[in-house]
Chains A and B, each alone.
Chain A
Amino acid sequence: MRTELRSTVDRLDRPSAYYHSRNNKRRRTDNGRDGRDGKDGDTEMANAQPEEPPEDPLRNATTLYVGNLSFYTTEEQVYELFSKCGEIKRLVMGLDRFQKTPCGFCFVEYYTHQDALDCMKYIGGTKLDERVIRTDLDPGFEEGRQYGRGKSGGQVRDEYRDDFDEGRGGLGRAIQHERMRDNERNREKERNYDDDYGRLR
């Protein structure tokens, strides 16, 4: 028979470029994330490459990375929504490295690859706790990955965010930090003044 044809409509159950581009900066054939609504990428057809890397770590992935959660979303809420795609084997909440509080992402592990794919199709891009969440296939959770990798303990993306997102702790942390330092400095000045004042007396 013929080789498998590319669908006439893009699929939503493809991983984002994240993992593949980490391994190989050149391989950017997937547009699962950006091309959601597109019916067909005409230009892609010419250089469509059916061959995948020989050992695709996502081929049987049962785990999803879930992003853009509110810091206040609980495990129970995640369970309630994600169970609609199948029984959850394990749920690991992403935590702030220092505070050990949720920092806006988690890993959901299903029993089957199909459930994970269905989750990409039916839950990724919908709302949980009134935020549009992002899902991506993941090769699997390993100890240590639950912690944010930003300087301040949270996720890197929350470092320099300049929009005020109440669900994710307000402004980016670096910016917050800067502001706090400013305040601190001002207060310091005042305190110094107080101290001096005291001494003068």
Chain B
Amino acid sequence: MADYDRRQSGGGGYNNRKRRYRDDDEYDRRPQRRRYDAPVPVRIRKQLLGLAESPLRRWHEEVQSIAQVIAENYEEQELRTSFLDLVPQMVIEQPLKVPFVAAVVLLVNSIKPEIIDELLARVASDTEEKVKVGEWRDVKLYLKFLACLQGCLEGDGLFPLLEELFSRAVDLQTASSDDTIGTELVKIILLTIPYILAAAPTAQSQQKAAELMDKTDVIASEPHALQVLIDPYHVSDGSDSPTANMSLVGLLQKQLQNEATSGWELSCLPRPWQMPLEEIEQQEKLDSAQKHTLPGISIPEKVITGPRPLFPEVFYSVYVNQEIASVPPVSSIASSIIRDALSDTINILHFNRNATARFLIDVDCYFAPGTFVKRATPFDRLRDIEGDRSTWKPEDVAVDAVFSQLFQLPTPEHKLVYFHSVLTEACKIAPAAIAPSLGRAIRYSYMNTYRLDLELTYRFLDWFTHHLSNFGFMWKWTEWVDDVNLPDMHPSKAFIMGALDKEIRLSFAQRIKGTLPEPYQALIGPEKEQDTPEFKFNDDHTPFAAEGKELAALLKRKAPDDEIQPVIDRIHSAALDQSIDPLVSSTDVFMTAVCWVGSKSLSHVLACIERTKDRLLDAGAASEAARAQIITAVMSYWSAHPGVAINIVEKLLNYSIVTPAAVIDWALVSDRAGPYGEALSKAWVFELVFNTVVKVTGRLRQVVSGEMGEGAVEEVAAMRDLFKRMDDALVSWAQGTKDQMMDPVVSDGGEDLVKRWGERWLRVFRRRSAIEESFLAESKVTA
């Protein structure tokens, strides 16, 4: 509305750029072309899409005026089509606006009720369609919309449908304790109930809700069998996970029961369908408007999981145990309702991170007034808030929601970098409000790295460094200065080292050094500032120095292979004389020379590998030791820049010059990645192993979903073998039975640290393995 008015008065001289082409061709450029000529459907679309965005407009006025225009112009075919298309679309694309769209519909109903039947038919059939294909989030959103319309539905309205959904859930849960669809259905039911009660707070609704909640209790309160697998915390034995009792459905059930006992106040929900006192006439018209029968929505006997695998959910927050609650406590239904709407918004709008960030910043526009404190209120000021007024910071609630998605196990809906980009945009839109909230989230996560699931620790590291790279690498490192002196294997110190390495990869050592306080300077050695590492064979004291230099020279001038072979032969015979493994020796010299010759850039080294791949393939195929030596050569040449090394190894894997198993062995079994289990604490080792596993499982999934041919059987066996290998290696670290750990010389107390790292690794890859197994089981069922 306001947008339009403003533009009209803006003078006709400056038109929207996008209109220019038409204007140029069809019209004279005369100032009297006025904006309010925009056709009604276009105007309505614009206004509907912009619902509730401006805090300056009053909800009831906004919905009334839109409803008025729709009702008046409904005979127009274009408007009709547009309205019938747009309403359901908005419901599933802009979840925060659902109550407002519903309010427009309710007001239209009070003027022209016949429109509503058409719309309900449309929404009902859309819902049915989504149920059929297992798009459960869309189903949830349609139900939320219908729940807001409960007041204009005949009889029990939406309740019978919820009851039917529940009966499916019961069937599924009785059939299997691992079932996740039933849990999802219960979640949907529980999240729909509050909207019904906000829209139609009648005794009848309360009664129905109570009956339904009595039934859901069994499923919701029972901890799900898979919950241990996806708990974001991985505490050491003997302590309790902070999220042990935080299953989403479990919380919902309790929160709703609390709400029921306090008379369904549901104070955070917006009620744009409620008119203020001066609009008493309108309110009466609304109350007495015609009721409609909800068209039947049939639920198939056998419901399916749909395109995304379902898992039970855990409520995760980075703002727990604060002195003052800056986010809704988990005892309040508000925590679930707001989180649900925000998570949906985040996941749905992956195609426009700016829009997502805008919604996050504007979260207070979409909930009842007074739900939050004023935007950008500093955390310290929350203390001064008097009485029972809210202390919830909208920024904290928004940031919390993004973290909950970023830290979702087993995998978030989108690539991790999407969530990074949302936080970056939010920070760009409202730096003063968001940055301090992020700072507190970072501190919380850092403090908890020791008990966070290891995969999540790595996600945190990856986000943190990427985020800093977007904001001039500014961070208050002084806060953690005491941790610099911790042993390298301490989780906090390991985080710091990993973070610095990641920062350097996105920038360069000198730049990062410039952002660090003095005590950190020693963590970035001179070797990190060197772009091209030394070629060890340039030092004549290195064994095979002459051959190394010679090979490098040959590689540099792209000499044919028959010129290379004699040098290799010389290494072989010299090695035999010294009774060391000839192939390992020559492989080390050759691969190191390849790295050195290609040290200018990744393209250079890749081109060099491409030219020499036959020789490398032969070496890699010849023996396990040689395969390991290829990796060792790369890793030691690039030891100061593990990121480069990881990239090279990844390409070697693509060429099948090294095998995934060789990478795993190199990292976890041998001592090569760091002595006495130190490897386990290094972020880059985790990255190397994790990427390798992802590569293997990714290829397997491709093969399996392509066709279950013979190749697939082999791939499956190879994958299982890989997981088995990892398990064996990690179990011995976790239990302290690894030979190196038994060595009395190194028993300096670091042993417990190693064990703990072993446990954390083990959990991550056992989960990965379990997920792949369930994927295989699933695809066998459907095949």
B14 contacts partner chain A, Cβ-Cβ < 8 Å: no
Residues of A within 8 A of B417 (CB): 84-85, 118, 122-123
Residues of B within 8 A of A9 (CB): 93-94, 349, 351-352, 355
Q: A8-B94, A9-B93 are in contact. Are A76 and B505 (CB under 8 A)?
A: yes
Say which one of A32-40, A152-160, A170-178 lies at the interface with B. A32-40
B16 contacts partner chain A, Cβ-Cβ < 8 Å: yes
Residues of A within 8 A of B30 (CB): none
Q: Are A77's CB and B415's CB within 8 A?
A: no
Say which one of B149-157, B613-621, B628-636, B643-651 lies at the interface with A. B643-651
Determine the residue in chain A with the shortest Cβ distance to B50.
Answer: A39
Smallest distance from the beta carbon of A134 to chain B beta carbons, Å?
15
- State the CA gap A79–B605 with chains docked (Å): 14
Smallest distance from the beta carbon of A189 to chain B beta carbons, Å?
41
Taking CB atoms and an 8 Å cut-off, the chain A residues in 110-130 that contact chain B are 118, 121-123, 126-130
B472 contacts partner chain A, Cβ-Cβ < 8 Å: yes
Residues of B within 8 A of A123 (CB): 417, 421
Residues of A within 8 A of B21 (CB): 26, 28
Q: Are A129's CB and B353's CB within 8 A?
A: no
Q: Are A13's CB and B601's CB within 8 A?
A: no
* A84 touches which of B50, B416, B470 (Cβ 8 Å): B416
- Of the candidates B417, B466, B644, the one having the most CB atoms from chain A within 10 angstroms of its own CB is B417
Determine the residue in chain A with the shortest Cβ distance to B97.
Answer: A8
Taking CB atoms and an 8 Å cut-off, the chain B residues in 504-524 that contact chain A are 505-507
B602 contacts partner chain A, Cβ-Cβ < 8 Å: yes
Say which one of B35-43, B244-252, B577-585 lies at the interface with A. B35-43
The digit string for B42-61, where 1 denotes a CB below 8 A from any CB of A, is: 11011001100100000000
B85 contacts partner chain A, Cβ-Cβ < 8 Å: yes
Residues of A within 8 A of B16 (CB): 43
- Of the candidates B41, B94, B469, B505, the one having the most CB atoms from chain A within 10 angstroms of its own CB is B469
Smallest distance from the beta carbon of A34 to chain B beta carbons, Å?
8
- State the CA gap A123–B470 with chains docked (Å): 11
- State the CA gap A149–B68 with chains docked (Å): 58
- State the CA gap A168–B38 with chains docked (Å): 45
B420 contacts partner chain A, Cβ-Cβ < 8 Å: yes
Residues of A within 8 A of B43 (CB): 42
Taking CB atoms and an 8 Å cut-off, the chain B residues in 388-430 that contact chain A are 415-418, 420-421, 424
Residues of B within 8 A of A183 (CB): none
A20 contacts partner chain B, Cβ-Cβ < 8 Å: no
Q: Are A46's CB and B42's CB within 8 A?
A: yes
Q: Are B351's CB and A12's CB within 8 A?
A: yes
Smallest distance from the beta carbon of A33 to chain B beta carbons, Å?
13
* A87 touches which of B46, B50, B416, B650 (Cβ 8 Å): B650
- State the CA gap A4–B340 with chains docked (Å): 27
Q: Are A122's CB and B353's CB within 8 A?
A: yes
Give how many A residues have a beta carbon under 8 Å from the other chain's beta carbons: 48
Taking CB atoms and an 8 Å cut-off, the chain B residues in 86-104 that contact chain A are 86, 89-90, 93-94
- Of the candidates B45, B355, B420, B603, the one having the most CB atoms from chain A within 10 angstroms of its own CB is B355
Q: Are B42's CB and A45's CB within 8 A?
A: yes
B22 contacts partner chain A, Cβ-Cβ < 8 Å: yes
* A75 touches which of B38, B45, B49, B601 (Cβ 8 Å): B601
Q: Are B352's CB and A10's CB within 8 A?
A: yes
Q: Are B601's CB and A126's CB within 8 A?
A: no
B19 contacts partner chain A, Cβ-Cβ < 8 Å: yes
Taking CB atoms and an 8 Å cut-off, the chain A residues in 68-99 that contact chain B are 74-77, 79-81, 83-87, 91-93
Q: A8-B49, A127-B469 are in contact. Are A77 and B351 (CB under 8 A)?
A: no
B528 contacts partner chain A, Cβ-Cβ < 8 Å: no
- State the CA gap A42–B43 with chains docked (Å): 7
Q: Are B355's CB and A80's CB within 8 A?
A: no
- Of the candidates A10, A79, A85, the one having the most CB atoms from chain B within 10 angstroms of its own CB is A79
The digit string for A130-163, where 1 denotes a CB below 8 A from any CB of B, is: 1000000000000000000000000000000000
Q: Are B602's CB and A44's CB within 8 A?
A: no
Residues of B within 8 A of A31 (CB): 18
Residues of A within 8 A of B85 (CB): 2, 5
* A118 touches which of B17, B86, B415 (Cβ 8 Å): B415
A47 contacts partner chain B, Cβ-Cβ < 8 Å: yes
- State the CA gap A26–B159 with chains docked (Å): 53
B335 contacts partner chain A, Cβ-Cβ < 8 Å: no
Q: Are B93's CB and A76's CB within 8 A?
A: no
Taking CB atoms and an 8 Å cut-off, the chain A residues in 35-63 that contact chain B are 36-37, 39-47
Determine the residue in chain B with the shortest Cβ distance to A114.
Answer: B415
A7 contacts partner chain B, Cβ-Cβ < 8 Å: yes
B350 contacts partner chain A, Cβ-Cβ < 8 Å: yes
Q: Are B49's CB and A39's CB within 8 A?
A: yes
* B45 touches which of A36, A45, A129 (Cβ 8 Å): A45
Residues of A within 8 A of B90 (CB): 8
Residues of A within 8 A of B695 (CB): 87
Q: A76-B643, A84-B416 are in contact. Are A11 and B421 (CB under 8 A)?
A: no
Residues of A within 8 A of B49 (CB): 8, 39-40
Q: Are B603's CB and A75's CB within 8 A?
A: yes
Q: Are B421's CB and A40's CB within 8 A?
A: no
The digit string for B572-615, where 1 denotes a CB below 8 A from any CB of A, is: 00000000000000000000000000000111000000000000
- State the CA gap A8–B695 with chains docked (Å): 36
Residues of A within 8 A of B507 (CB): 77, 129-130
Q: List 10 A-B contacts (CB under 8 A).
A: A5-B85, A39-B49, A45-B45, A46-B39, A76-B505, A76-B601, A77-B505, A84-B466, A87-B650, A128-B506
Given A9-B349, A122-B415, 13 further pairs, Cβ under 8 A:
A7-B351, A9-B93, A9-B352, A10-B355, A11-B352, A39-B53, A43-B42, A76-B505, A79-B647, A80-B506, A91-B603, A127-B470, A129-B507
Q: Show the binding face of A for B, using Cβ within 8 Å.
A: 2, 5, 7-13, 26, 28, 31, 34, 36-37, 39-47, 74-77, 79-81, 83-87, 91-93, 118, 121-123, 126-130
CB-CB nearest 5 A-B residue pairs: A84-B417, A42-B46, A80-B505, A11-B351, A122-B421
